[in-house]
């Protein structure tokens, strides 16, 4: 008792400390102030464009995987007022010219390391670093829902720089169309292969998935000679599987 009498204030402080730290930890864990504020439906009327970014993110592959606004934009997601939340390495990632943001490449590449590695080997990356004149991740994937754009949209963006006037390999657009088409078809078949062979031939499924990922990732080198070969092999392998599948026999 003597101990407690002498040290009671310390014990109480200690208990209070545990209580408050415990409380604040769960507060920051549970809440992401970026999302809390940006999801406010009043933005729908007041700032439609702002709200659109939130609605693109919600239910996207990134949201499902727990990638939040801060992962790409920086900022402090524990501060509930805008001024302080929009600090700490905060970046709007605004691209007046969608093709020219090197920052975007760095931010996406934090997580997509294999893609970034391939991309940094390409002439596009060199042009991006030197002059800002090449496509970046968002040119093709948008920002948040990371959809791969339709072939037509992508080749239209290629044509901005690769055309008769610039004389910068105009033929490349047709090449891109061809390869993208193969990747897209493989992308569609891939799901079907997964369902069809998941239990019966898991090693086949793994092989196809690995090959698909390899092609999708090495697309970012823009080495079209190699991609032409690789994408043909991928599609041939997938098609062979699809043809001999039980569904095809019916």
Q: Which is nearer to ligand HEC, 115 or 241 (CB)?
A: 115
CB 95 within 8 A of CB 101: yes
Contacts of residue 159, defined as CB under 8 A and 6 or more positions apart, other chains included, come to 173
Q: Which stretch binds ligand HEC (CB under 6 A): 10-18, 19-27, 46-54, 241-249?
A: 46-54
The number of angstroms, rounded, from the C-alpha of 246 to the middle of its chain's C-alpha atoms is 35
Does residue number 231 form part of the binding site for ligand HEC (CB under 6 A)? Answer: no
Q: Which stretch binds ligand HEC (CB under 6 A): 11-19, 200-208, 218-226, 240-248?
A: 218-226
Q: Match 């080749």 to its residue by tokens.
A: 155
Q: Which is nearer to ligand HEC, 73 or 196 (CB)?
A: 73
Choice from 178, 224, 235, 245 touching ligand HEC (CB under 6 A): 224
CB 73 within 8 A of CB 67: no
Q: Report, in Å, the least distance between residue 199 CB and ligand HEC.
A: 23
Instruction: Give the count of beta carbons closer than 10 Å to the beta carbon of residue 206.
Output: 11
Site string for ligand HEC, 110-149 (x = CB under 6 A): xxx--xx--x---xx--x-----xxxxxxxxxxxx-x-x-
Q: Match 């499924």 to its residue by tokens.
A: 205
Distance, in Å, from the CA atom of 38 to the CA atom of 47, rounded to the nearest integer, reads: 11
Choice from 6, 38, 42, 89 touching ligand HEC (CB under 6 A): 38
Q: Report, in Å, the least distance between residue 50 CB and ligand HEC.
A: 5
Indicate if the alpha-carbon torsion angle 13, 16, 22, 24 is positive or negative: negative
């Amino acid at each position: 008792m003597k101990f407690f009498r002498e040290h009671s204030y310390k014990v109480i402080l200690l208990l209070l400390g545990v209580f408050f730290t415990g409380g604040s930890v769960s507060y920051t864990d549970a809440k992401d102030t970026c999302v809390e504020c940006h999801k406010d439906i009043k933005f729908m009327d007041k700032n439609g464009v702002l709200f659109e970014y939130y609605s693109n993110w919600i239910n996207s592959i990134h949201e499902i995987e727990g990638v939040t606004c801060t992962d790409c934009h920086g900022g402090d997601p524990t501060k509930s007022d805008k001024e302080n939340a929009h600090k700490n390495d905060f970046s709007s990632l605004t691209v007046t010219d969608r093709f020219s943001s090197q920052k975007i490449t760095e931010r996406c590449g934090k997580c997509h390391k294999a893609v970034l590695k391939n991309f940094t080997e390409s002439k596009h990356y060199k042009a991006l670093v030197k002059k800002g004149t090449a496509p970046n991740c968002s040119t093709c994937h948008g920002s948040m829902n990371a959809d791969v754009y339709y072939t037509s949209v992508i080749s239209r963006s290629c044509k901005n720089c690769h055309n008769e006037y610039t004389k910068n390999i105009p033929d490349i657009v047709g090449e891109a169309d061809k390869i993208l088409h193969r990747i897209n078809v493989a992308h569609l078949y891939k799901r079907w292969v997964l369902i069809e062979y998941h239990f019966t031939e898991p090693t086949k499924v793994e092989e196809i998935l690995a090959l698909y990922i390899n092609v999708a990732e090495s697309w970012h080198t823009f080495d079209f000679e190699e991609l032409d070969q690789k994408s043909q092999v991928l599609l041939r392998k997938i098609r062979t599987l699809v043809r001999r599948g039980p569904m095809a026999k019916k």
